[in-house]
Amino acid sequence: MKKREHRLFIRVTDEERNRILDKMYGMGIHSLSAYIRKMALDGYCLNLDLPQLRRMAYLLQNCSNNLNQVAKRANENGKIYSADLADLRTRLDELISIGKQILTKLANL
């Protein structure tokens, strides 16, 4: 982690402070320093609370679990079941679809 040695001091009115805090909490950020630093350096903060991201993370977890089970079964007895592969393929197709939706939404920002 970087050591931040320099301090910056700014003065704001009560109204400005409240607006800054409202925006900060609206983004889900709880550190005023982190929020101010991000806004000063980049000029914006994005709150990417897309339901598709949660769905994608869930599907990735399921796919990795299923893939581990298929690999374990293949190593134990050398057999892979077509139903398992079909389930994996369906989940991977859904992941690809969700990934495309997310990229489309991000491109429109």
User: In the chain, what are the domain boundaries?
Assistant: 1-45, 51-107
pLDDT tens-digit series, residues 55-79? 888 888 888 888 888 888 888 888 8
Cα–Cα distance for residue pair 63/66, rounded to 1 Å: 5
Enumerate the H helices of the chain as residue ranges: 14-26, 32-42, 51-77, 82-107
Question: Which tops the pLDDT comparison, 75 or 45?
Answer: 75
| Average pLDDT value for the chain | 84
pLDDT over 70 at 81, yes or no: yes
Q: What mean pLDDT comes out for the span 26-42? A: 89
Higher pLDDT, 12 or 67: 12
